[in-house]
A and B are shown apart, each in its own frame.
Chain A
């Protein structure tokens, strides 16, 4: 921990799931800020600092992106593709966090250079542990280039 404020961008259309994720993340206090958007379009707007996300102080570049796949408007895979092909965004670790355990989705996600692919566990304990591990791994243990 170097004292730098750590930001997570959570892209999740299901408000209940978003609540669960944020609740767990807050419990473990690995991140300073969790910004939640509900669809793919909003996620891209956030990353590019467009529209209501223009203020980088309120909406800083995330240190980790938790991305659901089935999203309204712009699909999760399209968001991932956009991020990983962008010069400025590709360094951001993207963890696909989805209910889908379809092989096709996983294959596509890695094809588009997802950093990790995890399926939401149905069991609450597992769910909590997963989020804890994810947070520690990507934010505390993992070194990032900026």
Chain B
């Protein structure tokens, strides 16, 4: 079983081939779209999208980092502003009865004008007791209450140890930015008069900050992690569409190569893998450095699935287009295949008709293209075939007719011969029988007559056999044809017939300038001799006997004639007089072979012979044709 057997027709093959081509082409396009071109910068749309997302993230994280850094600096400036306020410092120094209330008011006023600062408290540098507080530190009585150990507090009271900035886990278990600051006396003595502690709830503060950034430069689909290491724990804010959540995890529990750890360790770069929730993400991480040795790890991330969504949507659209193109292509292909195979099918139809014997059928000569040319050539071939067939049929028909004629002729010949040869035998046997009878009776009267009849019958038989023999040799001797001058031939024949002509007082008029004829000279002489003898013998009682020999030219052949004004021949005998041993006049001499011989000779030469006579007493004209040219 071959492939072509499975695929089927030419048309199906074209359709299949082109469909495969279209599929291959479109698939290649899609593949390039997805995977890019090998060994080039084109790595496909997914990679392009990824790298675009990452570069966006890099940019966005940079901006976000700047903002965070600014925010941090701003808070320090805020606290610096408060801690250097002469008014506040004077209030602390005054230590009046009202000062506690005044301080608290001032702090509250500060908080009111600085919404990012959540709580502020003033400690006495010697007793660590709270001088005044506002915001979240309302319950605290002394420094340890807010997690400031005495040794740390002692450090804060050292001169020149102006400021400590740190991130701590506050009472609400969330990271707070804490700024601890020495407040100095107003008299330029650098005497520490109070310790100021201000805290910002990072979650509360960063949320609007980050959201403001998100709305501008960060895609809504992105999330982020903001992490910081505090006392062996990694405290993280996770930002996503739902808001900000907080986790705190021991450092050891966070994968060393997770983006947040990498960011915290001061590296920046893209990340492609699982996030802390085990989700596959595309992320960019970087460290955001603040002053005072504080740094945050910042990770911007997006679910890989979501990141690829625009590309997937795009691809889906492309696939839909691809499919539409395939359908259109297939339809065009079928149309084209039909168009292509139509001439072939038509040709096949014509060939089938011709094969089934209809040689008149022709293939449609549709165009000048290959199939059209094939059709033209094929039609030429069929036309040739048809001509041959027609020629052949005609030849067969002619040959058959000829054979039938020959057969009929032969049958007539055999019949004639058997009839005519039997006649003398019956005569001979009949009269010898009669003679025996007469002899027995002694009746001698008619014996001489009967004997003569027997003798004549034997002579007749002899004549018949001689004539038959001559007739049968004509076909064989005819080969020696030559160009014969008919003027000379007629003269020769007339010279031979000089005796009979003179005896019966006949003259012959010859048309001058007879042409040359290609024939068997001796046979042609026989023809003329027989026709002339007939003209001489069957003159009847014509008072002015005339015999003419002439020629006329008709349709490319010579028609010779021997004409007399003798007894003539009735039209009904015009055919049978050329039959073998046929005689119109029983009394006349000869066997009746003459005209049969003439007919045979002329026909062997390829001519025809006939008689023209208007009837008895009107004379006759025996005509025969000869070809002008010698046969090639």
Contact with B along A1-26 (1 / 0, CB 8 A): 00000000000011111011001000
Contact between chains at A13 and B430 (CB < 8 Å):
no
A99 within 8 A of B: yes
Task: Check B430–A124 contact: CB distance below 8 A.
Answer: yes
Among A13, A39, A104, A127, which residue has its beta carbon within 8 angstroms of that of B433? A127
> How far, in angstroms, from A53 to B87 measured CA to CA in the complex?
189
Complex Cα spacing A23 to B446, Å = 12
A72-B582, A72-B586 known; A16 vs B427 contact (CB < 8 Å)? yes
CB atoms of B433 and A15 under 8 A apart:
no
Which residues of B have CB within 8 Å of A104? 415
A50 CB, nearest partner CB in chain B, Å: 15
Map CB proximity to B onto A73-98 as digits: 1 under 8 Å, 0 otherwise: 10100000000000000000000001
Q: Could you tell me the distance in whole angstroms from the C-beta of B591 to the nearest C-beta in chain A?
A: 13
In whole Å, how far is A109's beta carbon from the nearest beta carbon of chain B?
Answer: 14
- B426→A99 contact, CB < 8 A: yes
B429 close to A99 (CB less than 8 A): no
Known: A15-B586, A19-B453, A122-B425. A70 touches B430 (CB 8 A): no
**A62→B429 CA distance, assembly (Å):** 29
Question: Which B residue sits closest to A21, measured CB to CB?
Answer: B430
Mostly helix, strand, loop or mixed at chain A's interface?
Answer: loop
Contact B429 A124 (CB under 8 A): yes
B368 within 8 A of A: no
A123 contacts the other chain (Cβ, under 8 Å)? yes
**Quick check: is A113 within 8 A (CB to CB) of the other chain?**
no
Interface centre among B430, B456, B582, B584 (most CB of A within 10 A): B430
Out of A16, A73, A100, A122, which one reaches B453, CB within 8 Å? A16
B356 interface residue (CB < 8 Å to A) = no
Say yes or no: A17 contacts B586, CB within 8 Å.
no
Instruction: Write the nearest CB–CB distance from A25 to chain B, whole angstroms.
Output: 13
Chain B contacts of A39 at CB under 8 A?
586
B627 within 8 A of A: no
Q: Which residue of A lies closest to B456 (CB)?
A: A16
In the bound assembly, the distance between CA atoms of A53 and B583 in angstroms comes to 23
Is A99 touching B586 in the complex (CB atoms < 8 A)?
no
- Residues A100 and B419 in contact, CB atoms below 8 Å apart: yes
- In the complex, whether A125 has a CB less than 8 A from a CB of chain B is yes
- Report whether B433 and A124 are in contact in the complex, using a CB–CB cutoff of 8 Å: yes
User: Taking CB as reference atom, which chain B residue is nearest A128?
Assistant: B433
Confirm or deny: A102 has a beta carbon within 8 angstroms of a beta carbon on chain B. Answer: yes
Query: Which residues of A lie under 8 Å from residue B419 when comparing CB positions?
Result: 70, 98-100
CA distance A75 to B582 in the complex (A): 11
* Inter-chain contact A127/B426, CB cutoff 8 Å: yes
- Assembly CA distance A2 to B431 (angstroms): 33
For chain A, give the interface size range.
20 to 34
A122 and B431 CA atoms in complex are apart in Å by 11
Q: Are B457 and A16 in contact (CB under 8 A)?
A: yes
**Whole-angstrom CA separation of A102 from B418 in the bound complex:** 9
Q: Is there contact, CB below 8 Å, between A124 and B453?
A: no
Which listed residue (A13, A20, A23) contacts B586, Cβ 8 A? A13
| A72 vs B585: C-alpha distance when bound (angstroms) | 7
Q: Which of A72, A99, A120, A125 is B583 in contact with, Cβ under 8 Å? A: A72
Instruction: Tell me whether B425 and A125 are in contact (CB under 8 A).
Output: no
Per a CB cutoff under 8 Å, which of A17, A72, A125 touches B423? A17
Cα of A54 to Cα of B456 in the assembled complex, Å: 35
The answer to whether A17 and B433 touch (CB under 8 A), given A72-B582, A73-B573, is: no
A78–chain B nearest beta-carbon distance, Å: 10
Q: Given A16-B453, A128-B433, are A102 and B427 neighbors across the interface (CB < 8 Å)?
A: no
Shortest distance between the CB of B408 and any CB in chain A (Å): 11
Residue A132 CB within 8 A of the other chain? no
CB distance from B581 to the nearest CB of A (A): 9
Docked complex Cα distance between A20 and B437 (Å) = 13
Centre residue among A16, A38, A70 by max chain B CB count within 10 A: A16
Tell me the nearest residue of chain B to A75, going by C-beta. Answer: B576
* A73-B573, A102-B415 as given contacts; A122 in contact with B433, CB under 8 Å: no
CB distance from B131 to the nearest CB of A (A): 165
Asked if residues B423 and A20 are in contact (CB atoms below 8 Å), the reply is no
B434 at the interface (CB under 8 A from A): yes
Known contacts A16-B431, A72-B586, A122 near B426 by CB under 8 Å: yes
Instruction: For B427, give the chain A residue with the smallest CB separation.
Output: A16
B312 → chain A closest CB, angstroms: 103
User: Does residue B422 face the partner (Cβ distance < 8 Å to A)?
Assistant: yes
Please measure, in the bound complex, the distance between the C-alpha atom of A70 and the C-alpha atom of B67, giving whole angstroms: 146
For A99, the chain B residues whose CB sits under 8 A away are 418-419, 422-423, 426
- Which B residues are in CB contact (< 8 Å) with A124? 429-430, 432-434, 436
Docked CA distance A15–B422 (Å): 14
Taking a contact as CB atoms under 8 Å apart, the answer to whether A120 and B426 are in contact is yes
Point out the residues of chain A lying under 8 angstroms from B416, CB to CB: 70
What A residues does B423 contact at CB under 8 A?
Answer: 14, 17, 99
B429 A123 Cβ-Cβ under 8 A: yes
Give the residues in chain B near A120, CB-CB below 8 Å: 422, 426
When distances are taken between beta carbons in the complex, the residues of chain A under 8 Å from B583 are: 72
- Chain A's closest residue to B430 (CB) is A20
A17 touches B418 (CB 8 A): no
Query: Measured between alpha carbons, how far is A104 from B415 in the docked complex, in Å?
Result: 10
Known pairs A75-B576, A124-B434 / 18 extra A-B pairs, C-beta < 8 Å: A15-B586, A16-B457, A17-B423, A17-B426, A23-B434, A72-B583, A72-B584, A73-B573, A100-B415, A102-B418, A104-B415, A120-B422, A120-B426, A121-B426, A122-B422, A122-B425, A124-B429, A128-B433
16 contacting pairs across A/B (C-beta < 8 A)? A16-B430, A16-B453, A20-B426, A20-B431, A20-B434, A23-B434, A39-B586, A70-B419, A72-B582, A98-B419, A122-B422, A122-B425, A124-B429, A124-B430, A124-B433, A128-B433
5 closest residue pairs by CB, A with B: A124-B433, A16-B427, A20-B430, A99-B422, A100-B419
